[in-house]
Structure 1
Amino acid sequence: MLYLITGQPGNGKTLRAMALMRDEYERNQAAVKAGKEQPRRFFSNVKGATLDENPKAFPWVERLPDHNDWTQLPDSAYVQYDEAHSDGKTPGLERYGKLFPSTGKPGESEDQRIRAMSTHRHRGVDIVLITQWPSKIHHQVRTLVGKHIHMNRAMGIAAAGTFTWTRVQTDPYDEKGREAADEEIWSYDKTLYDRYISATHHTAAYKFKMPKKIKNGLITGTIIMAMIAAVFTYNGWWGAMLPGLGGQGAGQAQAQPGEAGAAPPGLPPMFQPNAPNNADAIEVLMPGYGAYSELRTTPTPTLAGCVRGRTCRCFNTDGLQIDMTRQQCERLLADPLPFNVYHPYRETARERPESLARAPSAAIPDQPPATTLRGGSAARYGDVHTDYGDYGISTGRYVGQGIAR
């Protein structure tokens, strides 16, 4: 296969080429041991890739002959061409000689090495071309490439993003072209650093550098998070110091024994004065008034009265007996709850003027005749003269049910 590896200087294209060659060598050695293949020979013009230039180089890598002609190498050879765009005249590239530079001339090349590339697979030869940009290679060679790998190093980290196509991508940074590529992050193999000579491995120019935009974004984000944390910390501190401003804690929200409005201990939860009454609170945003929680009363039955005789029973405002023990009932009679200002108590016959109390029932439509209570006073349905507790509060619900203290 014909490989093309591109990338800007220092992006790891030569390192990637060395990794590919090592992987192929190990694969071939395993196949040789299995008796499936013959040993391959590996040639390279990479600086320091052979023992004559670098004592730490792989011993199985041979220096590419000066003729640079892959057609003169043995069958199944593996050939690396670093700086494959070299024209043999550019200062600094003299050691590479003339390889496969772009000439700008249309038609087929006169170079026999290039013309023979169309049949290089017939001999089992693999050729790897390394250069900075695809257009620097002769156009006829580009049409024969079977795998194009572009290296893109970011922020100077020891890794590069690799984009791989099955043919040459003229512009590796084209967005549509990248969508068709196989993309991955390739971490640099540090074990290969000593296997060849590269001036870009340890230079300060390629140390980690965070882009300015990312750095500014991180700084801004840190400041914002610190401000948010400060606000929450401030509110929490004031909430602990000033419960009236910051909110009450769980212990502060409960009434202390002996305080006004405190319910006797042991009552069912529905009679606890501090039970939450805003379970259905809705968060509303009103223009000019900010956000508030709308409180709405809920039709929850409350205690209406208690009767003690042979037994002790308490009833709610719906006329239903409340499930409680005799001890709880007697505790309510001994230490009654305060007056419920939210309950619409009706005026009793004793509290109304005598003229109104004796008014005919026809004055109120659909009203049953008056009932004579014990003691001779008259009351209409819905009125009662039953007191409960020590406060003498008329609850007004049970005329006609025979409930009296």
Structure 2
Amino acid sequence: MAAITLITGKPRIGKTAFAVELLMFDDFYKGRKIFSNINGLLIDHHKPPEGHSWEDMHEWLKWRENIGSVVIYDEVQYLFPTRSSGSKMPENVAFLNIHGHYGIDMILITQSPKLLDVNLREVVNKHIHIAANKMGGLTRLEWNEVALNPTQQARNALSSSHKIRQEVFEYYKSAEVHTAHSHVKSRWYYVIIAMLFILPCILGLVGFMGYKMYQGYKEKAGITAQAEAANEDTGFKNPLDPESQKEMMPQSGIQGQNLKPEDFVPTLAEKPESKPIYNGVRQVKTFEYPVGCVDGGKSGCTCYSAQGTPLKEITKAMCKDYAKNGLPFNPYKDEQQQAAQQPQTAPQTAYEPENSQVITMGGQSPKNLMYDGYVEAGQQFAQRGGVVGTQ
């Protein structure tokens, strides 16, 4: 589809260079007949035919040999200047309404769309504006219609970074090459450049300070751990330690507070010890651990704690394994403390486990000399029979 592309921008911003770049690298224009007025253009192109000029291109662009050609015109405001309203439309301007019938594509270059004939503005298919940005580079803005105020209408444009290919300047006589021109850079450009050098130094300093703080913390933690270990060995407790002060303070259910009815209501209905009034004195002294398992009887297989209570959490399969192969190693048992508490007695012919263990059943109990109803320790399991695993 034949189209009119308008390229605008301040003087020496690179408008002509971008137009030449399109002719060189855009496949849409390659291999087509080109008419251009660009000064010193080295790309193969044509001027208006002999006896004709740009002002009557509405005639010779209709010739059969020129159908499908490309027109690229620099400083187009001189070819299609603004005109007063109500004045007769020039034939060149009227041709812009039907240029597509002849497959003519146009690339028109000027400083501002406000310098052009109003009818030309209405038939532009793409408007490209090149402007300097605050970072010292170039920005390309694109619209599908003319933007009379490109800077103010930038938010509605397709924006991208613009860079001129240096090889383009070899194919035409460029004003940019012969004129020293530099874009004014925003102060933020210099701030960012400075930050690129300063930021690594700041990060390095922060990292070094963090490392030193971490090393100091490790040393302090090591000294504290050694002091605590020494206190444990000697049994000494620092009276200034908050935990030691808490242990030395008299414990009561609700210290320094008036009793309330809800203090006597258990949080667990089946557990009277869960009353809030006992919170200050209720402490865990031990934990459940299997010390024996009985396989047999009505209950099948059951494992018991050191207090003789059944451990319902242990599955039947695990219980049978313990009863058959023995209990697992108990890493929580203090062997040294147990050996110190056991009295030195003469060798016995039979093994007697601790009171907290379940023993092997099947023999006869010694005669009970105690009062009626007395049950010897461990005898409550004798009625079950079966195999017992002990630790």
Alignment-mate amino acid for residue 3 of structure 1: T
2:176 to 200, 210, 229: 200
Q: How does 1:300-319 map to 2 (within 5 A)?
A: 303=286
- Deviation (angstroms), 1:134: 0.4
**Counterpart for residue 5 of structure 2:** 3
Answering whether residue 54 of structure 2 is matched by residue 79 of structure 1, we say: no
- Deviation (angstroms), 1:204: 5.0
2:90 to 106, 111, 123: 111
CA distance 1:11–1:160, shift in 2 (3 Å): farther
Equivalents in 2 of 1:79, 1:202: separation in Å?
Answer: 26
Equivalents in 1 of 2:230, 2:338: separation in Å?
Answer: 16
- Deviation (angstroms), 1:147: 2.1
Q: How does 1:220-235 map to 2 (within 5 A)?
A: 223=198, 226-227=201-202, 229-235=204-210
Q: How does 1:250-289 map to 2 (within 5 A)?
A: 259-261=230-232
CA distance 1:327–1:115, shift in 2 (3 Å): closer
1:303–1:314: 8 Å Cα contact kept in structure 2?
no
- Deviation string 1:333-383 (CA, Å, 9 cap, x unpaired) is 1699xxxxxxxxxxxxxxxxxxxxxxxxxxxxxxxxxxxxxxxxxxxxxxx
Alignment-mate amino acid for residue 82 of structure 2: S
**Counterpart for residue 46 of structure 2:** 62
Answering whether residue 149 of structure 2 is matched by residue 171 of structure 1, we say: yes
Equivalents in 1 of 2:227, 2:328: separation in Å?
Answer: 23
2:212 to 232, 237, 242: 237
CA distance 1:239–1:183, shift in 2 (3 Å): closer
- Deviation (angstroms), 1:78: 1.6
Equivalents in 2 of 1:148, 1:327: separation in Å?
Answer: 82
Q: How does 1:118-133 map to 2 (within 5 A)?
A: 118-133=97-112
Equivalents in 2 of 1:45, 1:243: separation in Å?
Answer: 78
Higher strand share: 1
- Deviation (angstroms), 1:123: 2.6
- Deviation string 1:318-338 (CA, Å, 9 cap, x unpaired) is 999xx97368635341699xx
Equivalents in 2 of 1:126, 1:300: separation in Å?
Answer: 93
2:40 to 42, 48, 54: 48
**Counterpart for residue 114 of structure 2:** 135
2:21–2:168: 8 Å Cα contact kept in structure 1?
yes
Equivalents in 1 of 2:306, 2:194: separation in Å?
Answer: 66
Equivalents in 2 of 1:136, 1:256: separation in Å?
Answer: 88
- Deviation string 1:96-148 (CA, Å, 9 cap, x unpaired) is xxx22224x11344533223322222333222210011001122221222222
Answering whether residue 159 of structure 2 is matched by residue 183 of structure 1, we say: yes
Larger radius of gyration: 2
- Deviation (angstroms), 1:196: 0.9
- Tell me, what secondary structure is at the counterpart of 1:79? strand
**Counterpart for residue 333 of structure 2:** 329
- Deviation (angstroms), 1:225: 6.6
1:5–1:13: 8 Å Cα contact kept in structure 2?
yes
CA distance 1:233–1:5, shift in 2 (3 Å): same
Equivalents in 2 of 1:196, 1:109: separation in Å?
Answer: 36
Equivalents in 1 of 2:178, 2:306: separation in Å?
Answer: 89
- Tell me, what secondary structure is at the counterpart of 1:149? strand
- Tell me, what secondary structure is at the counterpart of 1:135? helix
- Tell me, what secondary structure is at the counterpart of 1:143? helix
- Tell me, what secondary structure is at the counterpart of 2:11? coil
Higher helix share: 2
**Unpaired stretches in structure 1, ≥5 consecutive residues:** 30-39, 50-56, 87-98, 263-296, 337-385, 387-399
- Deviation string 1:14-67 (CA, Å, 9 cap, x unpaired) is 1222233335676563xxxxxxxxxx4211111111xxxxxxx12x21245682
RMSD: 4.7
CA distance 1:21–1:109, shift in 2 (3 Å): farther
Equivalents in 2 of 1:241, 1:190: separation in Å?
Answer: 58
Equivalents in 1 of 2:28, 2:287: separation in Å?
Answer: 93
Equivalents in 2 of 1:324, 1:261: separation in Å?
Answer: 30
Equivalents in 2 of 1:147, 1:11: separation in Å?
Answer: 19
**Counterpart for residue 211 of structure 1:** 186
Alignment-mate amino acid for residue 38 of structure 2: V
Alignment-mate amino acid for residue 116 of structure 1: F
- Tell me, what secondary structure is at the counterpart of 1:261? helix
**Unpaired stretches in structure 2, ≥5 consecutive residues:** 234-279, 292-303, 312-326, 341-354, 356-374, 379-391
